[in-house]
């Protein structure tokens, strides 16, 4: 690989993004991994009150899908949303603070893991309702079109969500109105314990795009470049005013659905097999192979991510709790007309 950048076999991401952006992408993937591990650890140590849904193993999908987005562009996320937040440039301290229920958190401790959002970065938020974000994403795309902002919305959802009526209604409206939205299905093969084979009457969810006359493509969701190539094309199409697309990232969550999962619906072998296909290892190798980073630099990136997460956790741990007497603040807008 003498001259990667001109080789036609060079992966899309390498051809398309600057070394700096690629390094940043890998850094974000490390941040997600470390965030999730830190979250898990905090849970084990009893610092977390509720449950959580970890996205370890899905980092390429989150980061790859946001590569061509700016702060003006929007995303809607899911219950498994930490990775999307990080991909959309959230502040890690505020994320952990939210996770710890602190006043300094993104939601001032009111929302928790399932509701982290950062509107300033175009992140309209995680969502506790499976499929809940789909029509909201379409609404954001409607705003963009109507207000002429040029913004695109990337709507994350899971394979399980694809069986919600909201999926159907949302894709249909987006297509009828030719809205600038990209539906990114993170197909990790299970909605909780229920495999797509037992829940979904089609082999690949991307096949359902045809029911809305929109392009649909399935890619290896653990291959950063493949994700980027597919989503970037869909984002570009949306920006050109040609309407929505559906991209299906095949991926896998290493951990159980949430903390109550006994992992009875899948085998250890299957999990091990997918852990072999670690998206971060693959991305690291890609960048090393293309001489964008050395092994040592990869290690340094990982360590830096670990440090940031430690600091984020420290920030969160040291942050104040919300005041009890303010429990009902922000239900309505203060000083509103009525």
Partner 1 sequence: MNAQTRTEMRELSYAEAIREAMDIALASDDRVILMGEDIGVYGGAFQVTGDLVEKYGTDRVMDTPISELGGAGVAVGAALTGLKPIFEFQFSDFAALAMEQIVNQAAKVRYMLGGSVSVPLVMRFPAGSGTGAAAQHSQSIEAWLGHVPGLKVVQPSTPEDVKGMLLAALEDPDPVMIFEHKILYKMKGHVPEGHYTTPIGKAAIRRAGKDLTIVATSLMVHKALAAAETLGPEGIDVEVIDLRTIRPMDRETVLASVRKTGRLICVYEGVKTLGVGAEISAMVAESDAFDFLDAPIVRLGGAECPIPYNPELEKAVVPQVPDILDAARNLAEGRI
Cβ contacts of 309 within 8 Å, gap of 6 or more: 31, 34, 35, 37, 38, 92, 96
57 contacts Mg ion (rule: CB under 5 A): no
Residue 257, Cα to own-chain centre: how many angstroms?
A: 16
The Cα–Cα gap between 170 and 233 comes to: 20
The Cα–Cα gap between 291 and 207 comes to: 37
158 contacts Mg ion (rule: CB under 5 A): yes
User: How far apart are CB 129 and its own copies at their closest, in Å?
Assistant: 13
92-99 helix and 19-44 helix, angle to the nearest 10 degrees: 20
State the pairing for strand pair 190-191/181-187. unpaired
Inter-residue contact 239 to 40 (CB < 8 Å): no
Contact region with its own copies (CB under 8 A), list: 92-100, 151-159, 161-169, 282-290: 161-169
Contact region with its own copies (CB under 8 A), list: 45-53, 160-168, 217-225, 247-255: 160-168
Residue 24, Cα to own-chain centre: how many angstroms?
A: 16
47 contacts ligand TPP (rule: CB under 6 A): no
83 contacts ligand TPP (rule: CB under 6 A): no
Instruction: Rule CB under 8 A: choose which of 2, 147, 201, 296 binds its own copies.
Output: 201
Residue 166 binding target from its own copies, Mg ion, ligand TPP, none, CB below 5 to 8 Å by type: its own copies
Residue 213 binding target from partner 1, its own copies, Mg ion, none, CB below 5 to 8 Å by type: its own copies
The Cα–Cα gap between 64 and 184 comes to: 11
198 contacts its own copies (rule: CB under 8 A): yes
Number of residue whose CB is nearest ligand TPP: 158
User: How far apart are CB 56 and partner 1 at their closest, in Å?
Assistant: 20
Which spans of this chain sit near its own copies (rule: CB under 8 A)? 163-169, 171-172, 175-176, 198-203, 207-208, 210-214
């Amino acid at each position: 690989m003498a001259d990667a950048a001109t080789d036609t076999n060079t992966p899309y991401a390498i051809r398309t993004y600057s070394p700096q952006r690629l390094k940043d992408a890998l850094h974000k993937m490390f941040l997600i991994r470390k965030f999730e591990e830190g979250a898990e650890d905090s849970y084990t140590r009893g610092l977390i009150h509720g449950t959580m849904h970890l996205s370890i193993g899905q980092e390429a999908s989150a980061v790859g899908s946001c590569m061509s987005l700016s702060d003006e562009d929007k995303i809607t996320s899911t219950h498994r949303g930490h990775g999307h937040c990080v991909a959309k440039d959230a502040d890690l301290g505020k994320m952990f603070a939210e996770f710890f229920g602190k006043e300094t958190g993104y939601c001032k401790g009111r929302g928790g893991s399932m509701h982290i959002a950062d509107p300033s970065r175009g992140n309209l938020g995680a969502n506790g309702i499976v499929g809940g974000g789909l029509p909201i994403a379409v609404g954001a795309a409607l705003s963009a079109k109507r207000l002429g902002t040029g913004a695109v919305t990337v709507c994350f959802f899971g394979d399980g969500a694809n069986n919600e009526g909201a999926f159907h209604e949302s894709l249909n409206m987006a297509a009828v109105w030719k809205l600038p939205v990209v539906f990114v299905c993170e197909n990790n093969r299970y909605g909780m314990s229920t495999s797509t084979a037992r829940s979904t009457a089609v082999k690949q969810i991307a096949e359902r795009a045809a029911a809305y006359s929109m392009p649909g493509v399935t890619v290896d969701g653990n291959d950063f470049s493949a994700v980027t190539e597919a989503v970037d094309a869909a984002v570009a199409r949306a920006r050109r005013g040609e309407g929505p697309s559906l991209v299906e990232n095949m991926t896998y969550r290493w951990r159980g659905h949430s903390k109550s999962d006994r992992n009875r619906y899948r085998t250890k072998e299957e999990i091990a097999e997918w852990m072999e296909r670690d998206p971060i290892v693959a991305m690291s190798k890609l960048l090393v192979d293309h001489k964008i980073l050395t092994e040592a630099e990869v290690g340094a990136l990982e360590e830096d991510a670990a440090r940031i997460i430690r600091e984020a956790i420290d920030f969160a741990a040291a942050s104040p709790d919300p005041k009890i007497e303010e429990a009902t603040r922000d239900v309505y807008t203060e000083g509103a007309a009525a």
